């Protein structure tokens, strides 16, 4: 008898790739574009994973809606410019062992790989193309089509696309938003400690925490142990 199909959903920024420098510089340019002091590194990284308009509203709650919108557009333009100058492999490099483990998981017949990210469709497409991953992820949920994390819509859409139930899926991410989204959707959650939120905040919300990408396959197997 073949094993049941399992869906493994990945966050992107802070989980698969380290886009920290890219994000910080894009936000710096966006705030300077409206004559405002950029937020601190800690503040900027705290909102990674949220959809961009929500993230900017969190960072600049006292600004007018017009200025917030200008920052959103400024961020998008800066992000694209930096990516064009450096390429995805340099501006958003894989974390150590990420590509090897992705290939390992993709080779398992009953595993389906997917993405649930706060990135835009355009941003995700460029990232995947830059890393040669266009065919790796069978379901790709992006900010354009869903409410911001931690709303469960991304996971629910991925489950629907793959024809699976929540019990046959796991979400892997580096932020509280990822863990809360998984909880809201009723799926298991694995937190990684190399990303942008403190592991002390993640651990209470996660089924497991991993500190090395190479530990993910065993952690995933443990999720579905009988």
184-208 pLDDT tens trace: 999 999 999 999 999 999 999 999 9
pLDDT at residue 12 above 90?
yes
Helices and strands: H and E segment counts in the chain: 11, 6
120-175 pLDDT tens trace: 898 899 899 989 998 999 999 999 989 999 999 999 999 999 999 999 999 999 99
Q: Residue 81 corresponds to which tokens in the numbers above?
A: 């410019």
Q: Over the Cα atoms of the chain, what is R_g? A: 17
Q: From residue 21, give the alpha-carbon distance in Å to each of 27, 54, 166, 190.
A: 10, 20, 34, 24
Which letter does DSSP use for residue 6 in this model? Answer: E
Q: How far apart are CA 5 and CA 61, in angstroms?
A: 43
pLDDT at residue 2 above 70?
no
Q: How confident is the model at residue 226 (pLDDT cuts 50, 70, 90)?
A: low
Cβ-Cβ contacts under 8 Å for 79 (sequence gap 6 or more): 22, 23, 26, 123
Query: CB-side exposure of 153: number of CA atoms within 13 Å?
Result: 13
| Other CB atoms within 10 A of residue 30 CB | 25
Beta carbons of 97 and 103 less than 8 angstroms apart: no
pLDDT of residue 44: 95
pTM over 0.75: yes
Beta carbons of 37 and 31 less than 8 angstroms apart: yes
62-121 pLDDT tens trace: 999 999 999 999 999 999 898 888 888 888 899 999 999 999 999 999 999 999 999 989
pLDDT of residue 1: 33
């Amino acid at each position: 008898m073949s094993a049941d199909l399992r869906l493994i959903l990945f966050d992107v920024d802070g989980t698969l790739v380290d886009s920290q420098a890219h994000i910080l510089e894009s936000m710096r340019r966006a705030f300077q574009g409206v004559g405002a002091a950029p937020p601190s590194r800690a503040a900027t990284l705290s909102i990674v994973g949220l959809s961009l308009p929500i993230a900017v509203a969190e960072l600049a709650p006292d600004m007018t809606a017009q200025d917030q919108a200008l920052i959103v557009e400024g961020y998008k333009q800066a992000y694209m410019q930096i990516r064009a100058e450096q390429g995805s492999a340099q501006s958003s490099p894989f974390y150590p062992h990420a590509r090897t483990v992705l290939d390992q998981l993709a080779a398992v017949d009953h595993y389906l790989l997917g993405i649930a990210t706060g990135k835009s469709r355009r941003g995700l497409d460029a990232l995947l193309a830059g890393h040669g991953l266009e065919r790796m992820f069978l379901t790709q949920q992006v900010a354009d089509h869903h409410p911001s994390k931690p709303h469960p819509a991304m996971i629910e859409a991925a489950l629907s696309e793959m024809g699976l139930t929540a019990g046959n899926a796991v979400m892997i991410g580096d932020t509280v938003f990822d863990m809360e989204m998984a909880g809201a959707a009723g799926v298991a959650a694995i937190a990684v400690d190399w990303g942008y939120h403190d592991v002390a905040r993640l651990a209470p919300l996660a089924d497991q925490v991993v500190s090395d990408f190479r530990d993910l396959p065993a952690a995933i197997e443990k999720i579905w142990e009988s």
